Each structure stands twice: as structure tokens, then as C-alpha cells.
Amino acid sequence: MASKSKIKRGSRVPIPSQKPFATTLTSNLKETFFPDDPFRKWKKQPFQRRLLLGLQYFVPIFEWAPRYQFKLFKADLIAGITIASLAIPQGINSSLVPPLVYAMMGSSRDLAIGTVAVASLLYTDILGKVVSPTDNPREYLHLAFTATFFTGVIQVFLGLLRLGFIVDLLSHATILGFMGGVATTVSFQQLKGILGLRHFTHKSDLISVLKAIFSQTHEWKWQPAILGCSFLFYMLLAKFYSKRKPIFFWTSAMAPLTSVILGSLLVYLTHADNHGVQVIGHLKKGLNPPSFKYLAFGSPFLGSAIKTGAITGIIALAEGVAVGRSFALVKNYHIDGNKEMLAFGLMNIVGSCTSCYLTSGIFSRSAVNFNAGCQTVVSNIIMSIAMIITLLFLIPFFSFTPLVVLSSIIINAMLGLIKYEEVYHLWKVDKFDFIICISSYLGVVFGSVENGLITAFCLSVVRLLLVAARPKTVMLGNIPDTVSYRNIRHYEFAQRVPGILILQIDGPINFACTNYLRERIIRWVDEEEDRIKNCRGQSLQYVILDLGAVGSIDTCGISLLEEVTKLIERKSLKLILANPGSEVFKKMHLSRSTEIFGRSTYIQQWLRQSKHAHS
């Protein structure tokens, strides 16, 4: 009896109190943009501690540096020197300052920083139209620095606006396909080095690459091919052994670096560079000159520079963060999109002042970094230091490094990144994710990196819209001897309550699903009536809609509830809306619908009464 009176007392849930608009807005914005509540730790702390926490939050190096151990440093050292050996033949300047900035600000542990091919392409495409890089190289260079500066500004801006959740829209399936696709195309591009070709295409899609390779079969050389294959074989062998016996872990990690050293020695001793093996060759000595005085804010082409900066900035961001997330997923840690945007942005602003083009996380180098066993972002610092030492002292030695060794290092890193098993796992668990993954892969392989990302992104959004447009409705049955109700198709011992149809709506009700829900609910009722007619059971009297799982609703959803009430009443049945959440209840009240619906009661209490009535 006590229990009954208690339930009675609570049978009318009060309408949630109307909060001022500003309060609701603030709490909604906070939930949307600051779900992790980053400043929670700061509360009730003295000012100095707050300052430290703030510094640690925005500049992660202050957080992890005190805990950094020598064990990690060994791994990072090897990885850092390995990626430095890759960076030397590519843009030197851009591998010096930006990695240092990223090491302080970034939240990825595997990302290696450098110039991105896509950005260079877009620079020539957009900036090259207003200033010719051949006729007017000085002005072009200054405009390029200016564009890089604006890239940084826009990236910081996005980060401050907390738009990092855009990065969340790149799903695991998208990234899996993207990674496999890039690994495929990058591997094929390395055939340039393996076959010792001098001319090659700037396009990255498979067909252009294959065309470029097979259109110049007469240029193929056997010397670099043999060299490359042997080093690749050596590295694969090292990886194989290090996997079988964990004690040999270092063999795999050291393999790329030893390959570079061995390769350079070989060329130095045999003079293979005179027999068809291309080497890095002569490099200019000296460090980055400052370039902030070249930023051309007064240029008549400032508009083009800003446009170039914005477009390349967003693409580089999407690509860089996608690369970072790829490796974070593999190692199962978390990347904060907002911090990444800030880090990339500052990196480019500083970069533009120290003679660097646009930089971002590069896939091939990060893969080599990952493969060499890097543990933290310190490998980027090592790379930077190694670059400085190289520039100052080791240039003569590295000029003998054969390009083909770099190619085989990259291929070796790529081979580990095409994850058949995971794609099969997607196929097994979720077919739509599989389709997204494959379209991302095909988009990258046969189109471009952006094509792949955009296709997969659009498919992912369509999937979200489909889910939003088709929320699940399930019929509930009573679990015997309890007041609990569960999905009747899932729990086989759940029983129908005679004369009552209980439906639960899973998920938010919005404009995209109202037409569907109307049809679907009416169909549930029709089917239940048919079933009862066939088995001559007790005829239907009540329909209960359990709204307990409807987390949010819009005005269309409220109209839907009104419409369904009318439609069900037209069938001489009574509709009861049970267990509405606070948002649903509040909006029903605001739109005066509670008067139409009557007061909502507990589904439990209501059914207990009805069972008494019927039994």
C-alpha cells in the first residue's frame, strides 16, 4: 500500500520550470562546443595553479614533458632520425621550424610535419594565375608566404571557434579507406624512385601514375631496382622477425635508418651515382632566414593570397587531422580537434615568418615515423635538430644517400597501412560503413585525396540523415511479474498486455521523420488490429507511445504528436503519451499541446491500473 501511495503522489510530474532564454542558450552552446568541459579542473583552484593548468591545456608540452622518460626517448630518437632522413631531400626549410611549433602545441603522438603536395599544387594553381612564378619569382614567393600566413590565421580562427567537431565527422570507416587509398597511391608513386625515373606526373591518382610509369619503359633502370628491392626485403625481414620475437623489436625500428646509412656508404664506396642510381646530391647549407618582413599585406593581390590561404588551409587541416586521427585510432588514443586546429594554425603563422610554405601532417612521413616506433611528438623535435645538424655539418654525407632507399622506406611503411582484416570486419559488422570505406578508398585511388574525403563525408552525412529520418519504433511487452516493459521481438518472454499496444520511439523526433513516424505508427496499429481479428483476442482500446527515449523534438515533432492523437482517436482508440522527457514535456506545454494530450502519467502506474481493470 505504501508503495502505491508513493507512486500516486508522484504520478503527476511537474512541468519543467521555464528558464530564461539566455540560460538555455548558454547551456546548449556549452553542451555543443565544450562537451569535455575543459575548464572544470580550473574551478576552485588558486590563480597560479589555474595559470599552469591553462598553459598545460593550450600548450600540451607542459603537460607531458615533466613525465617524459628516457625509455620513450630512445624510441623517439630512432624515429626522429628516420623521418629526418626522409625530410632532407624534400623541403628542408619547412622541416625545421614548424615541427618544433607542432611539438609544443599538437596532441598527436605520431604526426610528422612537412609540406603537403596538395598545397603546393593549389598555390601554383591559384597564385600562379595572378603572379607568374617564373617571371616574377620574388613577388610570387612573398605572396606564397602571405598565403601561408592567412592559412594559419584561418586555422587558428576555426580552432578558437571550437569547430573541431567537424573533424569528428570523419568516421573510422572513412579514415580506414582514406588510409588504404593513400597508401596504395603513395606506394605506386615510389616506383619512380625504384625504377630510377627522372620525369614523373604531379597527379596522384593511380591511372596517371601508372601511365607515367609505363609510358617511359625505356627509362627503367635495373641498378636502383635491385638496390631498392634488396633494402625493401631487408626491412620486411626485420619487421617479420621483430614481430615473431619481441626482443628483436629494435631491428624493425632501426632498419630504415641503417638502410639510409648503408645505402649512402654503398654509393660513396662504389660510385653508383655514376651508374644510374640517383642520389640526393648537392644541398644548400644554412638555416631559415626570417621572412616576416616579406609578408605582402599591401600587395594588390592580397585577395588572391587570402583565398589561396583559406582553401589550402581547410584542405590541409582536414588532411592533417585525418592523418593524425588515423594513427590515434591505431594506437587507441584521442585527438582533440580544436587543439589540432590551433597547433596547425600557429605552426603556419610562425612558418610564414621563417621562410616556410604551408605545412601540415604528412601521411607518408607519419607512417614511417609510426613504423619506426615513435612514442611521442619528441620525434618531431629530434627531426628538427637532426635537420639543423645535417644542414650545418652532415650535408656532404647525405648528398650520397640514394633516392631509391627513401622510396623503399616509404613502401615498407605503406604496406602496413592497408588493413584488409579491418575492412572485412566492417563488411561483417556494418555494410554501410563498408560502403563508406570502399568509396573513400576508390575516391583516393582513382580521384584525389580530397575526392575521397568528400565522397566518404557525403555518404556519412547521408547515413546520419537516413538514421534521423527513420528512427526505430519497437513494440513493448510486459516482463511477467514486474512493471517493466521490453521490446517484444527481442525478449521472447515479454508478453502483450491485452487491449493495449505499447510502442517505444528510439531517438529524437524531427521534421525529417515526422511523415515516416505517422505512417509507421498507424501501420503498427493496423497490423495489431489485424492480428487481434485473426486470433479473436480482446480488441484494442489503448495505444501507448513511450517517449522516454525521445531526447529532443522540434515543432514538427509536436505537430506529429497532435496529428497522431487525432488519427488514433478517429479509429475510436485512445492514445497515451507516456514518460516524456523534460524537453518534450516542456515543448508540449509551450505549444499548449498538453491540453490536447491530457496529462501524461507513468507508463507503469497506468498499466498497473489497466491490468487490474482487465484481469
Q: How far is the CB of 36 from a copy of itself (least distance, A)?
A: 4
| Cα 362 to Cα 108: distance, rounded to the nearest angstrom | 12
Of 120-128, 162-170, 226-234, 368-376: span binding a copy of itself (CB under 8 A): 162-170
Of 63-71, 89-97, 346-354, 550-558: span binding a copy of itself (CB under 8 A): 550-558
If DSSP codes are grouped into helix, strand and coil, which group holds residue 262?
A: helix
Q: How far is the CB of 255 from a copy of itself (least distance, A)?
A: 31
Q: Contact letters (x/-) for a copy of itself, 556-595, by CB under 8 A?
A: x-xx---x---------------x-xxx-x-x--xx----
Q: How far is the CB of 139 from a copy of itself (least distance, A)?
A: 38
Q: How far is the CB of 168 from a copy of itself (least distance, A)?
A: 5
**Which is closer to a copy of itself, CB of 401 or CB of 510?**
510
Q: How far is the CB of 511 from a copy of itself (least distance, A)?
A: 3
**Which is closer to a copy of itself, CB of 206 or CB of 547?**
547
Q: Contact letters (x/-) for a copy of itself, 435-454, by CB under 8 A?
A: --------------------
Give the helix/strand (H/E) hosting 381.
Answer: helix 378-389
| Cα 304 to Cα 205: distance, rounded to the nearest angstrom | 27
Asked if 63 touches a copy of itself (CB under 8 A), the answer is: no
**Which is closer to a copy of itself, CB of 474 or CB of 540?**
474
Number of CB atoms found within 10 A of residue 42's CB: 14
CA distance to 109, 136, 385, per residue, from 67 (Å) = 15, 50, 21
Q: How far is the CB of 296 from a copy of itself (least distance, A)?
A: 35
Asked if 161 touches a copy of itself (CB under 8 A), the answer is: no
Q: How far is the CB of 6 from a copy of itself (least distance, A)?
A: 6
Q: Is 373 left (phi over 0), alpha (psi -120 to 50) or beta?
A: left
Q: How far is the CB of 493 from a copy of itself (least distance, A)?
A: 5
Out of 515, 538, 539, 609, which residue is the one contacting a copy of itself (CB under 8 A)?
515
Q: What residues between 168 and 197 interact with a copy of itself by CB under 8 A?
A: 168-174
* 355 Cβ contact partners less than 8 Å away, ≥ 6 residues apart: 93, 145, 288, 289, 290, 291
Of 337, 358, 362, 336, the C-alpha closest to 349 is: 358
Of 446, 10, 557, the C-alpha closest to 211 is: 446
Q: What residues between 461 and 500 interact with a copy of itself by CB under 8 A?
A: 461, 463-472, 474, 479-484, 486-487, 489-493
Asked if 507 touches a copy of itself (CB under 8 A), the answer is: yes
Q: Contact letters (x/-) for a copy of itself, 309-348, by CB under 8 A?
A: -----------------------x-x--x-----------
* 91 Cβ contact partners less than 8 Å away, ≥ 6 residues apart: 114, 115, 356, 357
Of 209-217, 299-307, 385-393, 458-466: span binding a copy of itself (CB under 8 A): 458-466
Asked if 529 touches a copy of itself (CB under 8 A), the answer is: no
501 phi/psi in degrees, rounded to 5: -110, 120
Asked if 604 touches a copy of itself (CB under 8 A), the answer is: yes
| Cα 89 to Cα 114: distance, rounded to the nearest angstrom | 12
Out of 8, 29, 35, 424, which residue is the one contacting a copy of itself (CB under 8 A)?
35
Place of cell 622506406: 409
Give the helix/strand (H/E) hosting 574.
Answer: strand 574-578
Of 422, 517, 442, 145, the C-alpha closest to 305 is: 145
Instruction: Give, to the nearest 10 degrees, the angle between helix 97-105 and helix 337-352.
Output: 150
Q: What is the DSSP letter of 416?
A: T
**Which is closer to a copy of itself, CB of 22 or CB of 247?**
22
Q: Contact letters (x/-) for a copy of itself, 277-316, by CB under 8 A?
A: ----------------------------------------
Asked if 429 touches a copy of itself (CB under 8 A), the answer is: yes
**Which is closer to a copy of itself, CB of 509 or CB of 573?**
509
Out of 125, 219, 526, 569, which residue is the one contacting a copy of itself (CB under 8 A)?
526
Q: What residues between 83 and 122 interact with a copy of itself by CB under 8 A?
A: none
Asked if 597 touches a copy of itself (CB under 8 A), the answer is: no
Out of 19, 552, 595, 614, which residue is the one contacting a copy of itself (CB under 8 A)?
552
Q: What residues between 388 and 417 interact with a copy of itself by CB under 8 A?
A: none
Question: Exposure pattern of 149-172 as b/e (b: 16+ CB <10 Å)?
Answer: bbbbbbbbebbeebebeebeebbe
At 151, list the grid cell. 592559412
Out of 308, 359, 364, 460, which residue is the one contacting a copy of itself (CB under 8 A)?
460
**Which is closer to a copy of itself, CB of 37 or CB of 219?**
37
Of 96-104, 166-174, 293-301, 371-379: span binding a copy of itself (CB under 8 A): 166-174
Q: Do residues 368 and 82 lie in contact, with contact meaning Cβ atoms separated by under 8 Å?
A: yes
**Which is closer to a copy of itself, CB of 257 or CB of 426?**
426
CA 233 vs. chain centroid, Å, equals: 33
Asked if 419 touches a copy of itself (CB under 8 A), the answer is: no
Q: What is the DSSP letter of 391?
A: I
Asked if 53 touches a copy of itself (CB under 8 A), the answer is: no
**Which is closer to a copy of itself, CB of 402 or CB of 580?**
580
Q: How far is the CB of 40 from a copy of itself (least distance, A)?
A: 7
Out of 72, 415, 442, 549, which residue is the one contacting a copy of itself (CB under 8 A)?
549
Q: Do residues 122 and 311 lie in contact, with contact meaning Cβ atoms separated by under 8 Å?
A: yes
Binding-site size for a copy of itself (CB under 8 A) equals: 99
| CA atoms lying within 13 Å on the CB side of residue 354 | 20
- Cα first-last separation, the chain: 19
Q: Do residues 400 and 279 lie in contact, with contact meaning Cβ atoms separated by under 8 Å?
A: yes
Q: Do residues 101 and 350 lie in contact, with contact meaning Cβ atoms separated by under 8 Å?
A: yes
CA distance to 94, 280, 395, per residue, from 90 (Å) = 9, 9, 14
Out of 508, 568, 578, 607, which residue is the one contacting a copy of itself (CB under 8 A)?
508
Of 382, 361, 340, 359, the C-alpha closest to 58 is: 340
